[in-house]
Amino acid sequence: DAGITQSPRYKITETGRQVTLMCHQTWSHSYMFWYRQDLGHGLRLIYYSAAADITDKGEVPDGYVVSRSKTENFPLTLESATRSQTSVYFCASSVVDSYNSPLHFGNGTRLTVT
């Protein structure tokens, strides 16, 4: 089915471990985004990508790494997870290079760092 898929849906990991959250979209959208959602903060942008091999930092990039070797995939890696990175993570995509394009979101990954 067409859409944007995130995996896993839930993840528990220990402090200091590396963890990768996956995001796959079937629309061939140019833009992809990673947000984290914390209570009382709405969504905050971690990283975004304008196209394959082009990524840039958002509002809260520290502790995260992204890559985009293919248009359809945009994985997010926590190199050494910390408790402050416990959050719900959303991947999103946008069809065109325009600020009036809505974002299409995945279902999110709830990450708990113990």
| Chain residues that interact with another protein, rule: CB under 8 A | 31, 40-45, 48, 50, 56, 58-59, 88, 90, 92, 94, 97, 99-100, 102-103, 105-108, 110
d(CA 45, CA 35): 4
CA dihedral 18, 13, 73, 79 (to 10 degrees): -20
Q: What is the DSSP string of 75-98?
A: -EEESS--GGG-EEEEEEEESSS-
Least Cβ distance, residue 96 to another protein (angstroms): 11
* Residue with smaller CB distance to another protein, 66 or 108: 108
Instruction: Using the structure block, give the residue that is written with the tokens 């082009």.
Output: 54
* Residue with smaller CB distance to another protein, 80 or 96: 96
Least Cβ distance, residue 66 to another protein (angstroms): 15
Least Cβ distance, residue 101 to another protein (angstroms): 8
Residue 84's φ and ψ, nearest 5 degrees, are -70, -10
Least Cβ distance, residue 3 to another protein (angstroms): 10
